[in-house]
Amino acid sequence: MEASLPEKLARAVDARRGETVRLLQEFVRVPSITGGEGPFARTVEWAFRETGLSVETFEATPEEVAPYLEHVGEQARYEGRPNVIGRRSGRGGGRSILLNAHIDTVEAGDPATWTHDPFAGAVEGGRVYGRGSCDMKGGLVTHIAALRALADARVELAGDVTVAATVGEEDGGLGALATVLRGYRADAALITEPTRLALVPAQGGSLVFRLTVRGRAVHAAVRGRGVSALEKFVPVFEGLRALEREREASLSHPLYEGIEDKAPLSVGLVRSGNWASTVPESLVAEGRIGLIPGEHLRDVKALVAARVAEIAGGDSWLREHPPELEWIGGQFAPSEVPRILPSPDRSRGPREGHGPCARGRGRPVRGRHAPLRPVRGMPCVMYGAGDVGWRTAPTST
């Protein structure tokens, strides 16, 4: 009996397993921290050509993204950061798909905290270790592996397949935005963010904020005459944590049932003081707050502003010197696409507890692919290997 198409494709994928692992290792070995994606983009271009795709590259320009800076944030640089587009044309008459993966990563941090060299691409226990292996060079490799398997199995597609390897996801989604603005569209989009092989039709949003708290500087020997901006920030921070707990208890959405950290609020950067023997006269804190589908950016901004004002109103110094709240960087609205999966009795996940089983949906993912969302005219889901909790961890696998 002739093998079915799924069987042919599975065999084609298995036949290239070693090659696929080696490709991911090569990808991990080329650092591509946000803003410095250029060298890795050239590696991606080579891999696309080796796969038989037609290839185009382009850099986003300040002029084309200027109307959207509120969403993607100010960029330190645009040049030397090419997006790489690969195409496989179909015979015509079929539906098209856009496959997306971002090529930038966050910093590796202290190498001593890693179990393996973050840029060695080590393999152990059936896993590839290194910065970006999970988020999301592994996802990019799956696009390449799938297209190579289709070619090996001699599968002719009716519709076009476009693979968009984009820059700047970690700080605003610059590449994804530029890709859409340049006219790269399809009937649907698939993003291989790490979702533990669950098909995810929703994406949480996020806002990045900056708080500046003022104090009064004096020498530490007479600290009582000054006002420590650090000490004045403490109640503000505690108030924001309380807001997070309140939102955690009150927010509700069918896809978020049983999920912790529905819309986390986190302060990730604090700068204060300029000398150990001086009471700090200012403190700058930057953080982010999450949103779930159905929430609006303006409402959450107002909520945070009201909480900061409430805290300031309870302190005599802060009443006279209220903290300054700014919204900086990318501003990402949450989104959700209508149910597109088969009914549950016809859906089978790759393994129990993952994939389109039960309700047919996975945990919403927090990413920065806003331009690919339904508002831009493309229904979009996420589906990928790896765990969202690993993606920026020192054990990224």
Known catalytic residues?
104, 169
Q: Give Cβ neighbours of residue 67 (< 8 Å, ≥ 6 apart).
A: none
Query: Crossing angle for the helix pair 137-152 and 5-15, nearest 10 degrees?
Result: 120
Pairwise CA distance, residues 309 & 236, whole Å = 9
CB within 8 A of 117, min separation 6: which ones? 111, 130
Residue 44 exposure: Cα atoms within 13 Å on the Cβ side = 35
Alpha carbon distance, N-terminus to C-terminus of the chain: 39
- Phi/psi-derived region of residue 358, left when phi > 0, alpha when psi is between -120 and 50, beta in every other case: left
Task: Return d(Cα 71, Cα 73) in angstroms, integer.
Answer: 6
**Dist. CA 190–CA 379, nearest whole Å:** 9
Please, what sign has the CA dihedral across residues 237, 271, 212, 216? positive
Q: Residue 366 pairs with which residues in a beta bridge? A: 204
210-249 in b/e form (b: 16+ CB < 10 A) is: ebbbbbebbeeeeeeebbbbeebbeebbebbeebbeebee
| List of residues 6+ apart from 66 with CB closer than 8 A | none
- Calpha distance 19→185 (Å, rounded): 30
Burial class for 252, CB neighbours closer than 10 Å (0-12, 13-18, 19+)? exposed
The single-letter code of the amino acid at 85 is I
Distances (CA, A) of 66 to 17, 62, 75, 79, 102: 43, 6, 11, 15, 21
The residues pairing with 206 across neighbouring beta strands, listed in sequence order, are 290, 332
